[in-house]
Amino acid sequence: MTVLDDIIAGARRDLEERKARTPIDDVIRAAQAAAPALDPMPRFRAPELAVISEVKRKSPSKGELANITDPASLAASYAEGGAAAISVLTEKHRFNGTLADLDAVRARVDVPLLRKDFMVEEYQFHEARAHGADLVLLIVAALTDDELTRFLALTADLGMTALVETHTAEEVDRALAVGAELVGVNNRNLKTLDVDLATFGGLAERIGDSAVKVAESGILTTDDVARVAAEGADVILVGEALVKHGDPTRAIGSFMAAAERATHS
């Protein structure tokens, strides 16, 4: 069993507990009552690099990253720094996140929010919308082509945007084949947790202009930002470097400035 398999198995167990507490009909009604989802794509398609800043307490590869007692305050710092969107981990076992974190952040900021979790059933998409998410994550390695197609359609029906995450050329091809418009390249192999920052550059050309390109994981310094920006990243998703920085507002600005220099030098 890979690390990804183990995480998904845990996510399914947690999902069954939530389904037992809250019937799907109640979740659907809550999703329908939520304010309309925000559209992140205009900002993601803008010439300037967009930053998705992540509220992330821990990870399977690094363990504890930060003691985030007030996710809403951290999110407000991200928004002040110019974050185009904010990612909130809601998986509890490996990442120590909760849907309550998403609720708190939604109540505090008015930028698009990504529910960062392992989405494997339709229930979770209605749940995401009910808690104010504007984006959801679809991990190609965890889903069949049929699931990708169905989940992309459901995401659109709910007014949300799907970040379709890839790690290999085959996964990029699968993402593009089902019509993904926002394609992430994760520099971390979720099956082994190994990180190789060259992964993004190796796949960016394959994506081309078919979709907005997001570089994920392993982006820790302004040099890393400059590298992926020069390789064609439209968006970066950064968690560890921001939660450990001490001044995330300033860090986001420095990342955006590094990208500007890299793409206009």
Look up tokens 């981990």; give the residue: 89
Q: What is the pLDDT of residue 2?
A: 87
- Each residue's pLDDT, cut to its tens digit, for the chain (265 residues) gives 788 888 899 899 999 999 999 999 999 999 999 999 999 999 999 999 999 999 988 767 766 667 778 999 999 999 999 999 999 999 988 888 899 999 999 999 999 999 999 999 999 999 999 999 999 999 999 999 999 999 999 999 999 999 999 999 999 999 999 999 999 999 998 888 889 999 999 999 999 999 999 999 999 999 999 999 999 999 999 988 898 878 999 999 999 999 998 987 6
Does the annotation mark 92 as catalytic? no
CATH no. for residue 189? 3.20.20.70
The domain tally of the chain equals 1
Q: What is the dihedral of CA 195, 78, 152, 29, to 10 degrees?
A: 140
Is 186 among the catalytic positions? yes
Closest CA to 46 of 219, 239, 260, 221: 260
DSSP string, 37-53: PP--HHHHTSSSPEEEE
Q: Which of 56, 87, 171, 187 is catalytic?
A: 56
- Number of Cβ within a 10 Å radius of residue 23: 11
Catalytic residue among 53, 59, 186, 189: 186
- In this prediction, residue 40 carries a pLDDT of 98
- Catalytic residue flag (residue 54): yes
Q: Angle, to 10 degrees, between the axis of helix 145-157 and the axis of helix 122-130?
A: 30
- Based on the residue annotation, tell me whether 56 is a catalytic residue of this protein: yes
Query: Is 122 assigned a catalytic role?
Result: no
Instruction: Say whether 67 is catalytic.
Output: no
Residue 140 three-state SS: helix
Q: Identify whether 165 is a catalytic site residue.
A: yes
Residue-range definition of the domain harbouring residue 242: 3-263
Q: Which position has the token pair 């399977």?
A: 60
Which of 54, 91, 127, 181 is an active site residue? Answer: 54
d(CA 82, CA 169): 32
